[in-house]
Structure 1
Amino acid sequence: MHITGWLRSRLTFGSTSQPEFTPTAVLLGLAIGCLICFTNLSLGLQSGWISMMSIQSALIGYLVSRMLPTPLTPQEIVVVQTTAVATGTMPLAAGFVGILPALSLLSEERDGVPPIQLTWLSAVGWSCGVAFFGVFLSPPIRKQVIIEEELTFPSGTATAQLVSVLHKLPPPNTAVRHRRGYTLIDEEDIPHAEATEELSTAEADEERDTEERESVEHAGWHSLSWSFGASGLLSLFAYFFPVTFAIPVFGNYFAREWLWYFTPSLSYVGQGIIMGFPTTVSMNLGMFVGWAILSPLCKLSGWAPGPVGDMTNGARGWILWTSLGVMCADSFVSLLPVGFDYVADLISRRGKGSLGMDARMSGSHETETEDRLVPMSWVLGGLISSIFFGTILVWAVFGHEGIKPWATVLGFILGGMLSIFGVRALGETDLNPVSGLGKISQLVFAWVQPGNIVANIIAGGVAEAGAQQAGDLMQDLKTGHLLHASPRAQFYGQLIGSSVSILVTTTAFTLYNRAYVIPGPTFPAPTAYVWLSLARLLRDGQLPENSALFMITFSLFFACLSTIKTIAGRRRHWISKWIPSGVAFAIGFLNTPSFSIARLIGGILEYVYHTRLAKDRSDIRLIVIASGYPAFVPSVVGDVDMVSAGDAL
């Protein structure tokens, strides 16, 4: 009976009677999500990169819940991190780090329309128009990629493993799982020797889990407080002595003329920890090629005669096109196998006839009861409503001359189609290629509405919003699936988080816009130039002098490299991890060296920690430290960019 009782406790992830969707979980998720939202808005406007931070959300939620009279259940923690992710990723979903800054860069002389600066109310209307389509798109996609295909979704799985360790549950991947869910195993089903061996191994695992959990409980708040305090002190120091945050790398001349300086920001280092070592290495490779080779080449050759940092006629604007080519080539190649698999799956299903389809539609693999799932009537009603009201809101904000209603509807439909590819890529590689998906939508609308740059950017943003949001929320649904959390409870959390984040993100962006020039030295918004430059290229086909040759050459090279990386990744070969990511490489072109160098330090720390310092199966301490760097640090440090390019050097 001892073995039977132990196995029952180890193989049952939770009971439906446990609290899940509670006010405490939702409020805590919103609080964490608001912090992530400010961080992502700053990070996105600076580097074009944001993070879901699902693991950090779950960890902080757990630490806070330990201070409550009744700690939250694992299912409540799932709701916490789901709500936090929906709140924190709105800066990208609603285009605040790319679409809106791109519209503000429009030139009446060049584009035929003046710059578009949305008021707070207009930005709220735009956000409401695109904020919910991906949420309603998630439940049907969940059934396909999580229940039927059982894709990995690495970040969602890692979050589930963390929550299971903290709550004394077995790691999800060690549970005995049948097609209809988690089952209980009776003692007589297991030979005595096997049961004894299983018990011994399990006790060792449980002991390690206990040590890890106690480490988090005792050291978590200490590490979080220390990292937050250290980052804040460094920010104050930078405020009074800004020159120390613009350290010349190769001397004052290269820092002033070629923008080679180093910003030792703990915030940037923390972002590098979150990105990981391979990504930061790829980014710094791009930074070296772009700023140490191509930038001097185009400047000294007279192809980019303006100041190096000028995005119009300087080296930074010239290398942008090479970056754009690399980004599109890498994203396109990485999507090809996903598309092939999807088409092959459709052909295979059609060959099996209606019986196979009926069996799939009946949900025979579903582990949840109907009362815990999101009803299909809600999904259909929500999709229709989000498209209808979204189209009206977009038309109200931008007018008939900006984008016609039928084009917005087409953008939603295209976003729904592209989200399938994005979600599948995310489930297999942990990367959602939304940048490439956005470029695909721009290509489509260059044909649908030729010559209309505003419509090209807006429709592309509508399509990208659905694909990005559906992908990020799918990671949360994977976590909930592994921990047997209610999909309906997560759906509620996603709706609430998205709704609140509309006001939070819009207010934060408005405040940043009043305090800084966006795009500008503090917040360069590099992806805004990518959106606008591609729209202009598709309209008039003009590139800076000799940039086409480098754009094509680098695109072909990274198309081949991405092919090798994709094939190796699908075969789970170790070399795929070390082949440079084209998207990260391109991001290194878009940002000045100061952004990339500090993040490389964070990536190195992450690598050393995992390979030399961390215990088995544990990276929790580093995650805590990285999570302690507050959102206000990038804003304070950002002032240094203006100083470093001017009188400070």
Structure 2
Amino acid sequence: MNEKDQDIDGGLVEQEDDAAAMEKAFDQTEVPPWRKQLTFRAAVTSFLLSLVFNVIVCKLNLSTGVIPSLNVAAGLLGFAMVKSWTVLIEKCGLLKQPFTRQENTVIQTCVVASSGIAFSSGTASYLLGMSPVIAAQADAGNMPINVKSPHIGWMIAFLFVVSFVGLFSIVPLRKVMILKYKLTYPSGTATAYLINSFHTPKGAKLAKKQVWILFKSFVGSFFWACFQWFFNAADGCGFASFPTFGLAAFKKRFYFDFSATYVGVGMICPYMVNISLLIGAIFSWGILWPIIESKRGDWYSADLSASSLHGIQGYRIFLAIALMLGDGLFHVVYMVIVTLKSFAQQKKKVTNETTDGQIGNYNDKRRTEYFLKDQIPNTVAIAGYLILAAVSIGIVPVIFTQLKWYHILVAYAFAPILAFCNAYGCGLTDWSLASNYGKLAILIFSSWVGLEHGGVLAGLASCGVMMSIVSTASDLMQDFKTGYLTLSSPRSMFFSQVLGTAIGCLLSPVVFWFFYKAYRVGEPNGPYPAPYALMYRGIALLGVEGFSSLPKNCLKLVIVFFFAAVVVNILTEVLKKFETKYRIYRFIPSPMCMAIPFYLGAYFAIDMCLGSLILFIWEKKNKKAAKEFGPAVASGLICGDSLWGIPAAILALARVNAPICMKFLSVAANKKVDAFLNGP
């Protein structure tokens, strides 16, 4: 999740001030040149952690699509691995280069870039939305020209062609955003604060404790997932199908599925995100869907299957899309307004803004010196963008024949503007709206191409083109901010981002292919339903068919939900601006988060709310310990449970089934089973 409370921004600004004071502690520490910041051990560590994080992100994407920020885990695990290695080598007397905060920053940048590709690659959204499995659920638009089966070859080729362009689109503006406008980039600032604290004597001691806590959490989570596997011999078996609140609630998808991953995710995500998910689940599965299902035979045919978009599934998908589009469009417009307003204010400001006293002046001067030391020429950035864009214009239409070269040309003509808006807005608020720009691209290009000419595939592929540019641009600027605060070279940041992008382009399809071959990916009742795949295809169908494809009264509800999402966001922003005493805006749910359970149900929201409850109780008992060790515990829960997915997938590919099926039946069903087993 990329959205954060406004309260966090203030805390992160304080952290930046603390980090500035820390620079005195590094005064006698030599800053290595940019080539020595890119070490072989950093590359190996980055690759190993990228593999772990790609598995985590792929599993989260395919199950619910809720992805927490993994920056802290990347920085902590990178520190733990390299520090352990250097301590061991130092004891042997073979250490040639000490482990520095710059090298730690390179590792974190590379890993986050790789896991960012795992998200923006669309293997669980727009690319999977092209598949026959998702097309069959969507009913309409599943003719051959609008369907493309996933294959590891063309997916890797597509990602390599489109993922690097965004890196060059924003490089010329790095000095303006970091030095002139001094944008905060809260996640980048927080990561820099974390890495700086690791490499001070006090921070190193705390980091060791955090690593130990993470290790224990990781091991416990891994073996708990292993234990659960033994009871999962068939569909509907195991702890994941435990009817926690009764069988009636279970049928409405209200249950706790004992997932350590989503308990950990809940500990990382803000409280209101988790509560919004639960509110959305209660409203949809507890109130709205039962009302619509009572209209069966009137609003939609009683003969339709449960997965048909012309039946109840259509209401679930398109009402969720309405909330997402309303929320997304509001934030795009709002971010453009905020960006233009901030840009105008920055123009009027006096250029000399450094009034923080001696420490502030000292650190600003030192950081600016190293930030400007290793420049990336603007001519290289512009030439790189034009060359890579030309390559993409030539190759993407070969992979997707539904898209023509002029479609890609138009996308790349507007992409730098959108990349700037996203990167600038991200610097102000920490919101990345890459997926929203991708959804708009789907609507525009799918309607441009048309249904008969493959508009569904064209819209989904154009989403990948646009989303890759906009997402990588904001990620790179976050990394530049982290590098600025840790005295890491812009060149080492750029090259580590390039390396991470390349690793992500390779690992993301491979990891997805592993899951795709081992499990029933994309099926609504399977272990990995990939909810966003059907939603993204639904948006493409809206683009090519208009609203004629919606079931009865669905259009009216879509309009209501779309404007409801806009009104809720307007109310939130108004309260943030004018209401300060009670801060009621903190208790207004997020429409985007509420939309996710419309399709999936409440089970993962219950897991995440349990994670929030654990953290809340921990904070009440010991706020300092919860702040220091909470992220480590959560990261261990996520990593351990997700990593079990690899041996589980290997067992599934080898057709090795669990030995036990633990299943729960009603009294009546149990009597029938007993009668059948006992015979006449």
Global fold match (TM > 0.5): yes
Change (3 A) 1:289 1:307: farther
Structure 1 residue identity aligned to 2:466? A
8 Å contact 2:170–2:420 — kept in the other structure? no
8 Å contact 1:262–1:598 — kept in the other structure? yes
Separation (CA, whole Å) in 1 of partners of 2:213 and 2:38: 29
Residue in structure 1 matched with residue 643 of structure 2 by the alignment: 632
Residue in structure 1 matched with residue 135 of structure 2 by the alignment: 106
8 Å contact 1:216–1:621 — kept in the other structure? no
Change (3 A) 1:244 1:337: closer
1:451-508 residue CA offsets vs partner (Å, 9 max, x unmatched):
3221111112211111122222322222111122111101010111111222211111
Separation (CA, whole Å) in 1 of partners of 2:620 and 2:173: 36
Structure 2 residue identity aligned to 1:449? V
Residue in structure 1 matched with residue 498 of structure 2 by the alignment: 495
Residue in structure 2 matched with residue 216 of structure 1 by the alignment: 207
Match of 2:239 among 241, 244, 252: 244
Give 1:262 shift: 2.2
1:310-343 residue CA offsets vs partner (Å, 9 max, x unmatched):
2634534412212111111112222223212444
Are 1:289 and 2:296 an aligned pair? no
Change (3 A) 1:7 1:223: closer
Change (3 A) 1:406 1:222: same
Give 1:646 shift: 10
Describe how 1:10-159 pairs up with structure 2 within 5 A: 10=25, 12=27, 15-17=30-32, 19-69=36-86, 71-104=98-131, 105-106=134-135, 110-112=141-143, 113=145, 115-159=147-191
Separation (CA, whole Å) in 2 of partners of 1:25 and 1:162: 18
Structure 2 residue identity aligned to 1:339? V
Structure 2 residue identity aligned to 1:598? D
Tell me, what secondary structure is at the counterpart of 2:182?
coil
Match of 1:486 among 486, 489, 512: 489
1:14-50 residue CA offsets vs partner (Å, 9 max, x unmatched):
6543642222222212221221111101111111233
Residue in structure 2 matched with residue 622 of structure 1 by the alignment: 630
Separation (CA, whole Å) in 2 of partners of 1:14 and 1:463: 42
8 Å contact 1:423–1:470 — kept in the other structure? yes
8 Å contact 2:311–2:551 — kept in the other structure? no
Change (3 A) 1:621 1:231: same
* Larger deviation, residues 367-376 vs 549-558: 367-376
Residue in structure 2 matched with residue 390 of structure 1 by the alignment: 392
Residue in structure 2 matched with residue 404 of structure 1 by the alignment: 404
Tell me, what secondary structure is at the counterpart of 2:634?
helix
Change (3 A) 1:415 1:524: farther
Separation (CA, whole Å) in 2 of partners of 1:215 and 1:252: 46
Change (3 A) 1:607 1:119: same
Query: Percent identity among equivalent residues?
Result: 23
8 Å contact 2:169–2:382 — kept in the other structure? no
Separation (CA, whole Å) in 2 of partners of 1:609 and 1:603: 10
Residue in structure 1 matched with residue 534 of structure 2 by the alignment: 529
Change (3 A) 1:513 1:38: same
8 Å contact 1:92–1:465 — kept in the other structure? no
Structure 2 residue identity aligned to 1:592? G
Structure 1 residue identity aligned to 2:215? S
* Larger deviation, residues 12-21 vs 378-387: 12-21
Q: Normalising by the residue count of structure 2, what TM-score does the alignment of the two structures yield?
A: 0.79
8 Å contact 1:95–1:465 — kept in the other structure? no
8 Å contact 2:130–2:148 — kept in the other structure? yes
Residue in structure 2 matched with residue 505 of structure 1 by the alignment: 508
Structure 2 residue identity aligned to 1:165? S
Separation (CA, whole Å) in 2 of partners of 1:530 and 1:455: 16
Structure 2 residue identity aligned to 1:550? L
Give 1:7 shift: 9.2
Separation (CA, whole Å) in 1 of partners of 2:500 and 2:220: 30
Separation (CA, whole Å) in 1 of partners of 2:126 and 2:602: 24
Describe how 1:364-383 pairs up with structure 2 within 5 A: 367-368=369-370, 370-383=372-385
1:529-563 residue CA offsets vs partner (Å, 9 max, x unmatched):
22111111122222122222222222222212211
Residue in structure 1 matched with residue 215 of structure 2 by the alignment: 225
8 Å contact 1:255–1:645 — kept in the other structure? no
Q: Normalising by the residue count of structure 1, what TM-score does the alignment of the two structures yield?
A: 0.82
Separation (CA, whole Å) in 1 of partners of 2:221 and 2:604: 16
Structure 2 residue identity aligned to 1:100? L
Give 1:634 shift: 5.8
Change (3 A) 1:344 1:119: same
Residue in structure 2 matched with residue 553 of structure 1 by the alignment: 560
Tell me, what secondary structure is at the counterpart of 2:184?
coil
Structure 2 residue identity aligned to 1:21? L
Residue in structure 2 matched with residue 264 of structure 1 by the alignment: 258
Q: C-alpha root-mean-square deviation of aligned residues, in Å?
A: 3.2
Match of 2:295 among 292, 301, 304: 301
Q: How many residues align?
A: 586
Are 1:474 and 2:477 an aligned pair? yes
Separation (CA, whole Å) in 1 of partners of 2:118 and 2:663: 28
1:391-425 residue CA offsets vs partner (Å, 9 max, x unmatched):
223122122xx211111222233333222232233
Match of 1:519 among 522, 528, 534: 522
Give 1:245 shift: 2.3
8 Å contact 2:244–2:255 — kept in the other structure? yes
Are 1:598 and 2:607 an aligned pair? yes
1:567-625 residue CA offsets vs partner (Å, 9 max, x unmatched):
44567954444322221121232322222211121223334444542318x72312112
Residue in structure 1 matched with residue 593 of structure 2 by the alignment: 584
8 Å contact 1:299–1:314 — kept in the other structure? no
Structure 2 residue identity aligned to 1:137? S
8 Å contact 2:456–2:541 — kept in the other structure? yes
Tell me, what secondary structure is at the counterpart of 1:262?
coil
What are structure 1's unaligned runs of at least 5 residues?
Answer: 1-5, 169-208, 353-363
1:270-297 residue CA offsets vs partner (Å, 9 max, x unmatched):
1222223221111111111121111212
Give 1:633 shift: 4.2
Change (3 A) 1:14 1:348: same
Residue in structure 2 matched with residue 195 of structure 1 by the alignment: none
